[in-house]
Amino acid sequence: MSKITIALDVMGGDNAPTEQVIGAGKFTKEVENCKVVLVGDESEIKKILDKNPHNASQIEILHTSEFIGNDDSPKEAIRSKPKASILLAADLVGKKEADAVVSSGNTGAVILACAKKVPRIPGVSRTALSAIYPTQNKLNRKDSLALMLDVGANIHCDAEELFQFALMGSAYSTSIQKVKEPLVGLLNMGSESHKGNDSMVNAHRILSESPNINFYGNIEGNNLMQGIVDVVVCEGIIGNIALKSVEGVAEVAKNLTKQAFKERLIWKMGIALLSGGIKQLKNATDFAEYGGAPILGFSGICIKAHGRSGNRAIKNALKVAAQAVQDKVCDKIEEKLEA
């Protein structure tokens, strides 16, 4: 295997660049034969590297002082900051000087930067932002995550595009989640094939007829967390709202627990006894373990890590990127599209 090169946008994310650089350093200590190009402020990067473990022979720095913040308008920032770290990092992939780009920065800016710099895989109509989430099976320690796409790169999608999402999601799931024939579900408002809008009805038919997709059928909102499928396909607007709705419940539950258990000593004692179980749940739902989710459809691996990523999440995002490169996920998507 030839050396894998990953471009890391160290300036994007809530904890940038410290956690990004530390994560990259840890990655080089754990994974051989992979080079990481740290894109960002050189003097800051060097300061952090000096204080933290890393394998210098696997690290390069590409200096830039421009970056796009979380509060910047993606469209405007991409136009007005041509040397922003995410644009330079994506450009390395576009020029084939890197195999993958990883960023925990502004989601809209990451998508636009990749769209500007990295060509799409031939035949792909639209790229899709995916999310990886734990299901009930995962929480039962069967290690079953699910991949959902699109969760917001697009608004409306037609049937053919939903079908392409299914192909791309299956290829990625096979590589990263190690599911041989991933089961694909179409997120809809009912289980029957005639449910939903025209895109969904037609997508159901195309998916049912395709020999290249292991199609489960329609799934509903309440099936998402059950883990009955490996890949969930949906229009961007629906995926975005469903995913955030699920995250919202978890946030509220956390707040309520905190509050309720401040109030009563007997509840505090209960919580203390439960702490093992709670930690186990917390681990299972900890995004840092999964490291990031792909934006699929580009002719290079593009991984969006969570904005709150710490160094462990960044390290895992780099691992996920290396795995996807090694498994030639982009080639596999192209093959599936041609089939």
Mark the segment that binds a second copy (CB under 8 A) among 30-38, 159-167, 261-269, 321-329: 261-269
Terminus-to-terminus CA distance in the chain, angstroms? 26
- 3-state secondary structure at position 44: helix
Mark the segment that binds a second copy (CB under 8 A) among 7-15, 61-69, 219-227, 312-320: 219-227
| Residue closer to a second copy (CB basis): 32 or 198 | 198
Mark the segment that binds a second copy (CB under 8 A) among 165-173, 218-226, 302-310, 312-320: 218-226
Burial of 63 (0-12, 13-18, 19+ CB in 10 A): middle
Does residue 248 interact with a second copy by CB under 8 A? yes
Does residue 223 interact with a second copy by CB under 8 A? yes
State which of residues 210, 241, 289, 327 lies at the interface with a second copy (CB under 8 A). 241
Give the whole-angstrom CA distance, residue 250 versus residue 133. 12
Which distant-in-sequence residues (6+ apart) come within 8 Å of 257 by Cβ?
271
Please give the DSSP secondary-structure letter assigned to residue 120.
Answer: B
In the complex, the smallest distance separating the C-beta of residue 269 from a second copy, rounded to whole angstroms, is 5
Using alpha carbons only, how large is the chain's radius of gyration in Å? 20
| Residue closer to a second copy (CB basis): 115 or 234 | 234
State which of residues 55, 125, 158, 225 lies at the interface with a second copy (CB under 8 A). 225
Q: Is the Cα dihedral 235, 229, 183, 320 positive or negative?
A: positive
Cis preceding linkage at 17, omega within 30: yes
Does residue 252 interact with a second copy by CB under 8 A? yes
Using CB under 8 A as the binding rule, the residues of this chain from 122 to 151 that contact a second copy are: 135-136, 139-140
Does residue 120 interact with a second copy by CB under 8 A? no
Does residue 258 interact with a second copy by CB under 8 A? no
Q: In the structure encoding, which two tokens stand for residue 79, read together?
A: 């136009």
Binding track, positions 263-282, relative to a second copy; x by CB under 8 A: -x-xx-xxxxxx-xx--xx-
Yes or no: say if 138 and 227 are a contact pair by the CB < 8 Å rule. Answer: yes
Size of the site for a second copy (CB under 8 A): 54
| Residue closer to a second copy (CB basis): 192 or 209 | 192
In the complex, the smallest distance separating the C-beta of residue 85 from a second copy, rounded to whole angstroms, is 24
Q: In the structure encoding, which two tokens stand for residue 132, read together?
A: 């990886």
Using CB under 8 A as the binding rule, the residues of this chain from 2 to 61 that contact a second copy are: none
Give the whole-angstrom CA distance, residue 285 versus residue 278. 11
Q: How many residues does the chain have?
A: 339
Phi and psi torsions of 68, nearest 5°: -105, 125
Give the whole-angstrom CA distance, residue 194 versus residue 205. 9
Interacting residue ranges for a second copy, rule: CB under 8 A? 135-136, 139-140, 152, 155-156, 187-189, 196-197, 220-226, 236-238, 240-253, 255-256, 259-261, 264, 266-267, 269-274, 276-277, 280-281
